[in-house]
Amino acid sequence: MNESTELLSVRVAELYYEESKTQDEIGALLGVTRWKVGRLLAYARDEGIVRIEIVHPRARRLAVERELRERFGLQDAVVVPVPIVASELGGRVSQAAADFLAAMRPVPRVLGVSWGRTLSDVAEHLAMGWAVGVKVVQINGGVSLNRRPGTAANTAVMIAHKASGQAMLLPSPAILERIETKLAIESDRTVASVLGLAAEASAYLYSAGVADRSSVLVDSGYLTSADVDELVRKGAVGDVVGRYIDANGNIVDPGLNERTVGLGLDELRTAQTSIFVVAGEHKHDVARAVVTSGLCTVIVTDEATAQSLLEEIS
């Protein structure tokens, strides 16, 4: 298009969007037909001369969501714009996850949840009465060894509480030192019943950790920095419900995996609905591993992460 078309479309856009005149009026004013005005308007939108933006903390990027759904065959995707203040990002995504949970139909009878910073944040953002009578089951161990005691348990309890439901905690460490202990604790009636319920959950909600020394699993003493270094050397990009995966979503260390208490990755993969909440640049790699390996059916994330997932040539 030439210069004068552009200038004219700017005039037209101003009169249409700022002065809310009709295309007909604008046509009369500028001496062109109303159809031309319509086309100039379309041109202005296409060229980005007119920018329409939805500014709201709860806004979503539907176009990106659609792309994610299509590209990865997801049930659903929720993508929030990146806020100007970077520190708000986690909150925005958690809020979106909470909104998604509250809007789920049918309401899950049994909801399996993991724990961690992100999950606890989601729990915080859920509104009181977001659902009624949901049974919340913890899907991986971790009670009490955490530095801030109770955080792990708190997540499940809060989510259940806000839905006037019942929380079922997994009374077990996340990772045990010996496989025998793990098998023994798994066969304990209380643990077994929780794991049984977890396997039957109608939906799962979890996040992922990055494979580095700052991991909450290191922080909690389940792993040493050296352990993590070794896992990274073997290709680990992060952990999902306490299990370390590589870029293809495969278990990095089968021995370690055997000693980890909780839902297995296969159960997550075959689940009807598993909601993956992830935010922030440092989690792009894990996010890619989770999404491409089919670990989730729903993703809740920020636009930058979504773009990074879509960027792949694949």
Window of 27-35, 198-206, 210-218, 284-292 that interacts with DNA by CB under 7 A:
27-35
Task: Identify whether 173 is preceded by a cis peptide bond (ω within 30 of 0).
Answer: no
Site membership for DNA, residue 50 (CB under 7 A):
no
Q: Do the bridges between strand 110-113 and strand 203-206 make them parallel or antiparallel, or are there none, so unpaired?
A: parallel
- Binding its own copies by CB under 8 A: which of 2, 31, 48, 132? 48
Determine the straight-line distance between the first and last CA of the chain, rounded to whole angstroms: 35
Residue pair 268/114 in contact by the 8 Å Cβ criterion:
no
Cβ closest to DNA, residue 41 vs residue 96: 41
Per-residue CA distances from 75 to 47, 272, 274 (Å)? 33, 10, 9
Residues between 50 and 79 that touch its own copies (CB under 8 A): 50-56, 58-63
Tracing tokens 């304990």 back to the chain, one arrives at: 188
- Is the Cβ of residue 10 or residue 197 nearer to its own copies in the bound state? 10
Q: Decide: is 13 part of the binding site for its own copies (CB under 8 A).
A: yes
The residue (of 15 and 211) whose beta carbon lies closer to its own copies is 15
Q: Does 212 bind its own copies (CB under 8 A)?
A: no
* Contact between 7 and DNA per CB under 7 A: no
Say if residue 269 is exposed, middle or buried (CB neighbours under 10 Å; 0-12, 13-18, 19+): middle
How far, in Å, CA of 241 to CA of 275, rounded?
12
Q: How far is the CB of 26 from its own copies (least distance, A)?
A: 12
* Residue 271 near residue 263, CB atoms below 8 Å: no
Contacts of 118 (CB under 8 A, 6+ apart): 90, 93, 94, 207, 277, 278, 279
Instruction: Find which of its own copies, DNA, none residue 56 binds, CB within 5 to 8 Å per kind.
Output: its own copies
> Among DNA, its own copies, none, what does residue 1 contact (CB within 5–8 Å per kind)?
DNA
Smallest gap from Cβ 51 to DNA, in A, equals 16
Contact flag: residue 11 with DNA (CB under 7 A): no
For residue 230, state whether it binds its own copies (rule: CB under 8 A). Answer: no
Number of neighbouring beta carbons within 10 Å of residue 54: 10
| Placement of tokens 């922080």 in the chain | 219
Give min distance, CB of 129 to DNA, in A.
18
> Does 270 contact DNA by CB under 7 A?
no
User: Which residues share a beta bridge with 262?
Assistant: 140
Nearer to its own copies, 84 or 313 (CB): 84
Q: Which residues bind its own copies (CB under 8 A)?
A: 6-7, 10, 13-15, 17-19, 44, 48-56, 58-63
Q: Which residues bind DNA (CB under 7 A)?
A: 1, 16, 22-24, 32-36, 38-39, 41-42
